[in-house]
Structure 1
Amino acid sequence: MYDVVASIVLYNSAANMVEKAIKSVLESPLNVKVYLVDNSPDDSLRTLNDIDRERIVYIHNGKNIGFGAAHNIAIRKSRTETKYNLILNGDVHFDRTVLPQIFDYMQQNGHVGQLGVKTLYPDGSLQYLCKMLPTPFDLIARRFIPGPLRGLFKQKLLRYEMRHRSYDNMMKIPNLSGCFMFIRASVLEEVEGFDENIFLYTEDVDLTRRIHSKYDTIYYPYATIYHEFAKGSYKSPVLLKHHIRSAIYYFNKWGWFIDKERSRINKMLI
């Protein structure tokens, strides 16, 4: 039984960056394993398996099946292998103390189903990745309102990113970033993993929300990771299309303007 099984989804990824993510996991003193689930059309990233053939499993899908669906492959394969799953982006890295620290916290706090950690840019500045449950306005404003007009909605946008709370304190958060999701394996099985109807974007919001309805989902600021954070949908029309489709699906599922659970949870966060 592994302490932690990490899964990283690849799609024409930069091998040198993914290597840093893999080594961040493997250098932990815990008993760990890594699944690399490759959605790229070719298998040129298979060479990453050579880093550690005993603890890395490479799976090549040959087509882009989506972020959540690819992670679900690793989640299903590891169902009887581990106590905890780490959903990890390939552009994240951290030191060897992070996994033991959060593993111990989860072992001591059985009511916690999922944990996120303090996330910094490579230059050391903070990423505000704790969020309220989104309204349609939150997602539209963050993506489409031009800079000069953002000042009109500044306080609302800052509140959505929980900037009225201290990121140095632990918080119960219903919307944790998908770049680093440390989740109890039994909880992932209970909620049946990612919703595969979401191809890309909002899949982390949906998953954390479902876990939050049954367990505590905690922001844990005492462990730190570094995240490159490319904001792909701001640069690519194709990714933007996926973002819009995912948002439509999410709000069709949970509610657009009437979402009593969202209203209740967000009110508590304020």
Structure 2
Amino acid sequence: MSIAISIVLYDNGDELIEAIESVLAIEADFQLYLIDNSKTNVLKKYAVDPRITYIFNATNLGYGAAHNIALRKSIEQRIKYHLIMNPDVSFEKGTMEKITGFMDDHPDIGALMPKIYYPQGHLQRLCKLLPTPFDLIGRRFLSNTQWAAHQNAKYELDQFGYNKILNTPVLSGCFMFLRTAALEKTGLFDERFFMYLEDYDLARRINRFYRTVFFPGVSIVHGFKKGSYQDPKLLRFHIQSAVRYFNKWGWFFDQERQRLNDNVLKQISAPY
């Protein structure tokens, strides 16, 4: 087996159907793990194929901790690649084979994120700089101010055309294609992050040993509901994760953040 895939579930409904259909169309050998954090095992009904393993936790472990269950299995079984994928993601046949081929050709890449679209067809701008506290506060609480708009334009890399490979320490956990050997060097998701920013933390650690790239050669579709903008409970998780992230990496004095962000901006401004 060359690819393992994990999807973390929590009371998900029909959105999971397209994700599973996309995975089952993969022609390479794979194993799909459905890691269920729900209170009941109703979602076991989606384990419709012998290549799908359903794991019921009976409690909400959190996003990273649940994915780590499958990631440990990939490391133990010496599986070459592991895809972290959200249940509201779908992709066309052949997508996974193209990503795997690209990773095979570039062993210096430890993690990859493809071009990602909303279901309506417009681009999700998920390539970003490593955040400062000002970035996250401005985006969430001061979005109507001119200062926050200017800050957010830089943070979201408004000048980036999404038309070339970008080595960036920020990758979205909605679809994160990982080289398992990289995880052996860096460790898995930090389980102190219950939800949110665990993907930034992992990509940043991998970037110390490998390139972590945005790859525009393939694309996927992602629902992207922005739950913390609608649910106060999720907003609380987001704030808690932000505090833990900055406690870990530095609030206002983070030399590595400055160096990595400068490198991203230089890549964007380069002609090729």
Residue 138 of structure 2 contacts residue 151 of structure 2 at CA under 8 Å; is this kept in 1? no
In the alignment, which residue of structure 2 is the partner of 1:129?
126
In the alignment, which residue of structure 2 is the partner of 1:229?
224
**Aligned with 2:208 (options 213, 235, 240):** 213
Report the AA paired with residue 131 of structure 1.
Answer: K
1:191 equivalent in alignment to 2:186: yes
How far apart, CA to CA, are the structure 1 residues paired with 2:243 and 2:28? 40
Give deviations 1:145-185, integer Å, cap 9, x for gaps: 143x1x33323211211221220111111101110000001
In the alignment, which residue of structure 2 is the partner of 1:5?
4
Residue 26 of structure 1 contacts residue 33 of structure 1 at CA under 8 Å; is this kept in 2? no
In the alignment, which residue of structure 1 is the partner of 2:171?
176
Give deviations 1:127-156, integer Å, cap 9, x for gaps: 000111110011111111143x1x333232
**Aligned with 1:55 (options 38, 42, 51):** 51
Residue 206 of structure 1 contacts residue 250 of structure 1 at CA under 8 Å; is this kept in 2? yes
In the alignment, which residue of structure 2 is the partner of 1:251?
246
CA-based RMSD of the aligned residues comes to 1.0
Report the AA paired with residue 173 of structure 1.
Answer: T
Partner of 2:122: helix, strand, or coil?
coil
1:87 equivalent in alignment to 2:84: yes
How far apart, CA to CA, are the structure 2 residues paired with 1:22 and 1:83? 21
How far apart, CA to CA, are the structure 2 residues paired with 1:162 and 1:170? 14
Deviation at 1:29, TM superposition (A): 1.1
Deviation at 1:81, TM superposition (A): 4.8
Structure 2 residues not aligned, in runs of 5+: 266-272
Residue 138 of structure 1 contacts residue 160 of structure 1 at CA under 8 Å; is this kept in 2? yes
Give deviations 1:51-94, integer Å, cap 9, x for gaps: x1x10000000000100000000111222152100000000000
How far apart, CA to CA, are the structure 2 residues paired with 1:261 and 1:230? 31
Q: Name the TM-score, length of structure 1 as normaliser.
A: 0.95
Deviation at 1:212, TM superposition (A): 0.7
How far apart, CA to CA, are the structure 2 residues paired with 1:85 and 1:235? 31
In the alignment, which residue of structure 1 is the partner of 2:23?
25
Q: How many residue pairs end up in the alignment?
A: 264
Partner of 2:121: helix, strand, or coil?
coil
Residue 194 of structure 2 contacts residue 241 of structure 2 at CA under 8 Å; is this kept in 1? yes
How far apart, CA to CA, are the structure 2 residues paired with 1:126 and 1:159? 17
Residue 49 of structure 1 contacts residue 57 of structure 1 at CA under 8 Å; is this kept in 2? yes
In the alignment, which residue of structure 2 is the partner of 1:115?
112
Deviation at 1:220, TM superposition (A): 0.3
Deviation at 1:189, TM superposition (A): 2.3
In the alignment, which residue of structure 2 is the partner of 1:158?
153
1:43 equivalent in alignment to 2:41: yes
% same residue: 46
Q: Name the TM-score, length of structure 2 as normaliser.
A: 0.95
In the alignment, which residue of structure 1 is the partner of 2:268?
none
